[in-house]
Amino acid sequence: MEQNNSSLGGFILLGFSDKPQLEIILFVLILVFYILNLVGNMTIILVSSMDPRLHTPMYFFLTNLSFVDLCLTTTVVPQLLLTMRSKDKTMSYIGCVAQLYVAMGLGSTECILLVVMAYDRYAAVCRPLHYAVIMHPQLCLSLAATAWLSGLVTSLIQCSLTIQLPLCGHNQLDHIFCEVPVLIKLACVDTTFNEDELFVASVVFLMVPVSLILISYGYITQAILRIESASGRRKAFGTCSSHLVVVIIFYGTITFMYLQPVKNRSKDQGKFVSLFYTVVTSLLNPLIYTLRNKDVKGALRKLVPGKGH
């Protein structure tokens, strides 16, 4: 059958091969970002688990977020770097499908995790006296499990529908990794159902979470404005601003990729946007949380020999 041609020969991942000079620059930048990504997110996980002062709901969710980012970049970047520096741009069919499922699952999990973190910040700022009761360990575990499970379910549904599309021998992926919108565009049949289904899933995992986060921050802003002391307002804002920066960057880029009609997407824009939310955003998380957070900086000093007190 024609549709099996791709599964026999795999996919040719074009990436930025049409711009050789840019590809060399991007290779170096992506490699540096990936190394920093690994170090940054592993540091967050290590510090949050080893310092008893950071055994709080906020850092529990941050550890989950760092683990998601670590896995997401590792799913995409090594294969991308390999194809960028190799004359053979081929990626096996099994490798592409595995990357498709894992990246979709992790991206969806992160969408829900950011909502959970917004709820945590809402409880901390708006209900400080009841915070420990509201965000009890069992609820934190349940919320984290819900995020991971929702990511798994949406990946199984979305990716399973996508890989069933006949490609009729089309095996050139003009993208940086195997992603649902790109594979839908490659299909040689009417993909209206898949595009509609992807749009609905994107609304559920992008627009609904963003709406819930904005509602949370609406209440948080009201609570902050009621604080009489300027130092109190700064402290309350500081606990939330880091999360808000991550939310804006992550949702802004991923919404551009998934809520725009498949046929309207510019291939180069899609590549850079995907590169941004898989590589850059994952690095921004540890940078923002470590550089702007006294607790994390204090825990880091304790772990570094000669820096602790």
**Per-residue pLDDT at 309:** 47
Q: What local confidence, expressed as pLDDT, does residue 265 receive?
A: 59
Give the pLDDT band (50/70/90) at residue 89: confident
Residue 278 predicted with pLDDT over 70? yes
Summarised one tens digit per residue, pLDDT across range 154-197 is 999 999 999 998 888 778 888 888 988 889 888 888 888 988 88
Burial of 230 (0-12, 13-18, 19+ CB in 10 A): exposed
Check residues 196 and 291 and name the one with the higher pLDDT. Answer: 196
Report which of residues 148 and 220 the model is more confident about: 148
Residue 72 has pLDDT above 90, yes or no: yes
18 pLDDT tier (thresholds 50, 70, 90) = confident
- The mean pLDDT value of the chain amounts to 84
What span, in angstroms and rounded, lies between the C-alpha atoms of 267 and 222?
42
pLDDT band at 1 (very low <50, low <70, confident <90, very high): very low
The arithmetic mean of pLDDT across residues 294-298, rounded, is 67
pLDDT tens readout for residues 46-68: 888 887 777 889 889 989 999 99
Q: Tell me what percent of the residues of the chain surpass a pLDDT of 70.
A: 87
pLDDT of 2 > 60? The answer is no
> Roughly how many angstroms between the first and final C-alpha of the chain, as a whole number?
68
For the domain spanning 11-121+128-300, the CATH number is: 1.20.1070.10
Highest mean pLDDT among 124-138, 240-254, 281-295: 124-138
